[in-house]
Amino acid sequence: MTLDEFRQSLTATQPPSGLTDALTGLWWDARGDWKKAHESVQRDEGAEGAWVHAHLHRKEGDQNNAAYWYSRARQPVCREPLDEEWVSIVRVLLS
């Protein structure tokens, strides 16, 4: 799946089948459902889930919790705008 295809899928009511929990979290995040996004990434205990978890807590405004999750993901704390970070994470996770 490409970034454009992922974005196009956002018009559906449910995420495409076959997405990882981390990508499903980003899908729900883009649809404006933070709770479902968070529930999705909580099922992924790996680095990808931690990275999306960090993004979600940063979006929530909980910088300390976000910093913890960036550390677990082995990623630097992000300072770019949230929408740019979302695209960056999606690109990496789709590759």
**66 contacts 41 by C-beta, under 8 angstroms:** no
pLDDT band, very low/low/confident/very high, at 29 (cuts 50, 70, 90):
very high
Q: What is the mean pLDDT of residues 2-24?
A: 96
Residue 17 lies in a domain: no
pLDDT at 23: 98
How many structural domains are present in the chain? 1
Structural domain boundaries enclosing 74: 42-95
Residue 93 token pair: 């996770």
Contacts of 21-26 with CB under 8 Å at 24 or more apart are 21/49, 22/46, 22/48, 22/49, 22/51, 22/52, 22/93, 23/90, 23/93, 23/94, 25/49, 25/52, 25/53, 25/56, 26/52, 26/55, 26/86, 26/89, 26/90, 26/93
Residue 66 lies in a domain: yes
Residue 59 lies in a domain: yes
